[in-house]
Amino acid sequence: MDELDRAIIDRLQIGFPVCERPFLEAARVLGTTEEELIARVEGLLRDGTLTRFGPLFQVERMGGTFTLAAMSVPEARFEQTVAAVNALPEVAHNYAREHALNMWFVLATETADGARDAVRRIEAGTGLPVLIFPKEREYFVGLSLASLR
Amino acid sequence: MNVGRLDSLDRRIVQALQEGLPLVPRPYDAVAESIGATPDVVRQRIAAMQVDGRIRRIGAVPNHYRLGWIANGMSVWDVDDARVDELGGRVGALSAVTHCYLRPRRLPQWRYNLFAMVHGRDRGEVANKVADIGRVLGDAARAHDVLFSTRILKKTGVRLGAAPPEGSPAGDAGPATVPIHQPARAGSAQG
């Protein structure tokens, strides 16, 4: 990752224009060309530095819900459980964590029923109980993390 | 269906974009073409979704491990219910905290009600930041723990279903509730 990559990540985490030639507009701010910027973003996605490039949707503003959920998965069954959980399109992200509850994921669904249904399918598919932690209040959500030198 | 603020055109736009913005010089034109709308209307709809918060932002979503934020700790706290609202706001205001939520306890397995996500270059840095949170909470916090992440298992973001659930209004902009463009899901390129 060079200086331009870092600048792209830091700048484009904050936002991206909505206009006819947004890469051209962003490239001007970054001091590069449209073609180079597109190639860099492609490269950062390909090598996994970026996981996505595009809009972040807030399903709660569309009437939907985000639900944090956790499971305690035996180590011997961890990989098969990851596959079963991740197979649901409702699972927006999923992290392994060091705790008795060692798998934490977020369900993004268009309805509260959708979240309950996804939990039932995961429990049926894995044979493991799912604890859910619906958000009661949001005190803060940050938008970005800077790339470190 | 309670997606009152997502008519059929919005929905087609969301679906066309959920795998990401096309990496071409005119990405919104490409989206417009794929769903049979005009570029101007697509850009207007996207801008409107940003204004009302249905789109939180548009841009790059990094793998924070790759940026050097190696240590990711979900700090969780058992905080006095009478004081958690006041204190949650103060914890969220700490620069080290990227997300801060109140969530239900699940006794007996889980006694914690305040969740504050902390990122750092290493676990020591996270531990220092967690100590800062502890000082803010003081004696209102009866116990806490830090759950470090060891692996990202999935990070794809929101995926809407291919069509609105039964009973959804058709909306005011599109010809039908059935989307023209149905994005690929499993196995699609996703960085």
pLDDT over 70 (residue A7): yes
pLDDT of B174 reads 31
pLDDT of B96 reads 81
Hey, are the CB atoms on A148 and B68 less than 8 Å from each other?
Answer: yes
As for the ipTM of the complex, it is 0.80
Residues of chain A contacting B28 with CB distance shorter than 8 Å: 18-20, 22
Which residue in the set B53, B91, B155 is minimally distant from A58, CB to CB? B53
Domains parsed from chain B with CATH numbers? 8-51 (1.10.10), 71-148 (3.30.70.920)
Q: What is the mean pLDDT of residues B18-28?
A: 95
pLDDT of A146 reads 66
Among A91-105, B90-104, B169-183, name the most confident range.
Answer: A91-105
Measured distance CA(B111)–CA(B135) in Å, rounded: 20
Q: What is the mean pLDDT of residues A30-42?
A: 98
List, in sequence order, every residue forming a beta bridge with B97; answer none if it has no partner. Answer: B118
pLDDT of B163 reads 47
pLDDT of B188 reads 31
Instruction: State the span(s) of chain A assigned CATH 3.30.70.3460.
Output: 59-134
Q: What is the 3-state secondary structure (H, E, C) of chain A?
A: CCHHHHHHHHHHHHCCCCCCCHHHHHHHHHCCCHHHHHHHHHHHHHCCCEEEEEEEECHHHHCCEEEEEEECCCHHHHHHHHHHHHCCCCEEEEEEECCCCCEEEEEEECCHHHHHHHHHHHHHHHCCCCEEEECCEEEEECCCCCCCC
| Residue B149: HSE in the Cβ half-sphere, 13 Å Cα cutoff | 23
Residues of chain B contacting A135 with CB distance shorter than 8 Å: 101-103
pLDDT grade, residue A54 (50/70/90)?
Answer: very high
pLDDT 10s digits, A64-111: 888 999 999 999 999 999 999 999 999 999 999 999 999 999 998 888
| Touching A: B residues 28-57, CB under 8 Å | 28-29, 39, 43, 46-47, 49-50, 52-57
| Touching A: B residues 103-132, CB under 8 Å | 103-104, 106, 109-110, 115, 119, 121
pLDDT grade, residue B160 (50/70/90)?
Answer: low
What CATH topology corresponds to A59-134? Answer: Alpha-Beta Plaits (3.30.70)
Residue of A nearest to B62 (CA): A50
Q: What is the mean pLDDT of residues B78-85?
A: 97
Q: Does B162 touch chain A (CB under 8 A)?
A: no
DSSP-derived secondary structure letter, B97: E
> Of A14, A30, A132, A139, which to mutate for an interface test with B (greatest number of B Cβ within 10 Å)?
A139
